[in-house]
Amino acid sequence: MKTNVYILCGGESVEHEVSLKSASAIINSLDRSKYNAYPIYITKEGVWCNLGLWNKKIEEPEELISESSDSIIGSMGKLLTCNYKEGERNIVIPALHGTKGEDGTIQGFLELMNIPYVGNEVLSSAVGMDKIVMHDLFERHNIPQTKYIPIKMHKWMEDEVETYSMVEKKLSYPLYVKPANLGSSVGINRVENREELEEAFKEAFLYDVKIVVEEEVIAREMQVSVIGNDHPKASLPGEFIMERPFFDYNAKYIDNKIIPVVPARLEPDVMDEVRKTAVKVFRALNCYGLARVDIFITDDNQIFVNEINTMPGFTPLSMTPVLWEATDGTTYSQLIEKLIELGFERYEQKKSILRTRCTK
């Protein structure tokens, strides 16, 4: 019997369009002799749309966009009662990035429904999404990182000038201002002075009630993919050549002017250390399935971890599949299959845990 794969895409996130690109590539890659593909489009308002069994190739991600007059709760209930094949071999791939997809909320829902899924669980998803908690956890595990300051909206609104002054006392320009709970470089700005800092705060607080300000490190950024459950493995590091001062949304998904270099240009001992660091980060956040760890390397080979992405992009431009093909020859389709099996492995492991007190 084929495995039913439900691919969640879209969602209530500023990364909605990125999700459609990831989902399209995943759907196209599935071996139809093994898997039934069931895309589920989630509108920007949160309504779930059942697209049914999907057998054709997706030419444009927009083909997944749908509409429904149902309420959010009604649409979810209808999908579970009419589309989900209970009693068969089922798994969900949450190809969702950002809010209500990568932050542990959808993972919690799937846990409650007792449905197997690919990737990270509630805790690692939530921690990886929240850059402030992530930084704090890195510090707890002695993982090298850049200097940072967390700032909550209410503190900033109570005294903007004092907030800017505090940042300037503790950190040195250039700085990066980021919403705490977003990805794909949305709402992030590089600033070099007070005027730019003020504008960056205003933009970042459009997307979250807390932000993080980080000190810039002059370095190259490496990306390492880590996959596995109890025995995670790191890919070769890769890097991008680009003209922009940082890897923003347009560079990632629109301009198509970035050049991936895999493996990255590193000495063997430095490359080994980067891979070890990526696995350390994966374990520190209690990750399962997959993650992408972004790491800075300075000219004198110092390592600084930038962040972890617990549901990295799977678009044609995304580094994760490229890294594994360069590392061990794993194709895109084989990688998806590995992740599906890791999802089932973790599901079976959790099923063996007692949920009630054992009595003699």
- Same domain for 32 and 95: yes
Reference 76, options 1, 124, 171, 6; nearest CA is 6
Identify the pLDDT of residue 98: 84
Reference 135, options 23, 18, 285, 14; nearest CA is 285
pTM: 0.89
Q: Distance (Å, rounded) from C-alpha 204 to C-alpha 243?
A: 24
Identify the pLDDT of residue 186: 74
Residue 358 lies in a domain: no
Give the number of other CB atoms < 10 A from CB of residue 299: 8
Comparing 249 with 225, the larger pLDDT belongs to 225
Last residue of a domain, one of 200, 215, 230: 215
Kindly report which listed range (72-81, 116-125, 142-151, 200-209) carries the lowest average pLDDT score: 72-81
Q: Distance (Å, rounded) from C-alpha 102 to C-alpha 128?
A: 8
- Same domain for 206 and 241: no
- Tell me if 285 sits within 8 A of 308, measured CB to CB: yes
β-sheet bridge partners, residue 291: 226
Q: Distance (Å, rounded) from C-alpha 210 to C-alpha 21?
A: 28
User: In the structure, what pLDDT confidence band is assigned to residue 183 with cuts at 50, 70 and 90?
Assistant: low
- Same domain for 211 and 255: no
Q: Has residue 360 got a pLDDT over 70?
A: no
Backbone angles phi, psi at 170, to 5 degrees: -95, -25
Q: Has residue 231 got a pLDDT over 90?
A: yes
User: In the structure, what pLDDT confidence band is assigned to residue 316 with cuts at 50, 70 and 90?
Assistant: confident
Tens-place pLDDT, residues 122-181: 999 999 999 999 999 999 999 999 999 999 999 999 999 999 999 999 999 999 999 998
Residue 130 lies in a domain: no
Q: Has residue 81 got a pLDDT over 90?
A: no
Kindly report which listed range (30-39, 303-312, 347-356) carries the lowest average pLDDT score: 347-356
Residue 328 lies in a domain: yes
Identify the pLDDT of residue 185: 66
Last residue of a domain, one of 215, 241, 275: 215
- Same domain for 237 and 190: no
Residue 161 lies in a domain: yes
Residue 9 lies in a domain: yes
Identify the pLDDT of residue 247: 53
The percent of residues above 90 in pLDDT, for the chain, comes to 80
Domain span including residue 27: 3-117
Identify the pLDDT of residue 181: 83
- Same domain for 235 and 188: no
User: In the structure, what pLDDT confidence band is assigned to residue 351 with cuts at 50, 70 and 90?
Assistant: confident
Residue 85 lies in a domain: yes
Reference 322, options 312, 337, 332; nearest CA is 332
Identify the pLDDT of residue 251: 52
Query: What three-state secondary structure class fits 358?
Result: coil
Residue type for position 112: L
Identify the pLDDT of residue 50: 92
Across the chain, mean pLDDT equals: 92
- Same domain for 337 and 292: yes
- Tell me if 111 sits within 8 A of 134, measured CB to CB: no
- Same domain for 250 and 319: yes
- Tell me if 65 sits within 8 A of 20, measured CB to CB: yes
- Same domain for 338 and 234: yes
Q: Has residue 52 got a pLDDT over 70?
A: yes
Q: Distance (Å, rounded) from C-alpha 233 to C-alpha 236?
A: 10
- Tell me if 292 sits within 8 A of 225, measured CB to CB: yes
Q: Domain total for the chain?
A: 3
Residue 208 lies in a domain: yes
84-to-3, 7, 32, 79, 81 alpha-carbon distances in Å:
12, 12, 18, 6, 6
Query: What three-state secondary structure class fits 101?
Result: coil
Identify the pLDDT of residue 26: 97
Tens-place pLDDT, residues 240-296: 876 555 555 555 545 556 678 999 999 999 999 999 999 999 999 999 999 999 999
CATH of the domain at 88: 3.40.50.20
- Same domain for 307 and 284: yes
The percent of residues above 70 in pLDDT, for the chain, comes to 92
Identify the pLDDT of residue 109: 95
Q: Distance (Å, rounded) from C-alpha 9 to C-alpha 57?
A: 16
Identify the pLDDT of residue 35: 98
Identify the pLDDT of residue 2: 95
